[in-house]
Amino acid sequence: MEAIELDIHIAAPIEQAWEFLSDQEGYTFASQVKEAKLLQEGDNERNGVGAVLKVRAMGATILWEIVDFDPPERFEYHITHFPIPFRHESGTVVLTSRDGGTHASWVSSYEVPIPLIGRILELIIGRVFGKVHQSVLTQAKAKLEVRYG
């Protein structure tokens, strides 16, 4: 099992960081994300549990479903479609009020169950996912800090 773990401090209130990061359809603000389209709204909230999103980034198209949604602190998603055999354990974004702003943590765990080359593909996917996640977090930070910092 491979994991990507990223942390960043955003000099903006948690409510504003949550509003920005929980709107996954808006992720096209990040240079690595070419498309982010909400295919299905959540059961009780537009971006909440049950929401299904199509994301196209760095040549891959994936689908993810929101499986936990706890404003303004946490959402969890599960990738349900990926171009190659892929097992996604979870992806979680956690926000915490800290140091006059918001600490954002993004963790995604997965594996590629293909004999012989699976481990190599995990490392490649880790680099790609890492770039995309980092792009979302750093560019969200920049945009939020211009508004609130």
- Give the pLDDT means over successive 10-residue stretches in the chain (149 positions): 95 96 94 95 97 94 97 98 94 96 97 94 93 95 90
CATH assignment of the domain containing 141? 3.30.530.20
Give the range of the structural domain holding residue 50, as residue numbers without chain letter: 2-148
Give DSSP secondary structure letters for 52-112: EEEEEETTEEEEEEEEEEETTTEEEEEEEE-SSS-EEEEEEEEEEEETTEEEEEEEEEEE-
Q: Report the predicted TM-score, pTM, of the whole model to 2 decimal places.
A: 0.94
Domain count, the chain: 1
> Prior bond to 72 cis, omega within 30?
yes
> What's the pLDDT at 76?
98
> What's the pLDDT at 103?
98
> What's the pLDDT at 149?
66
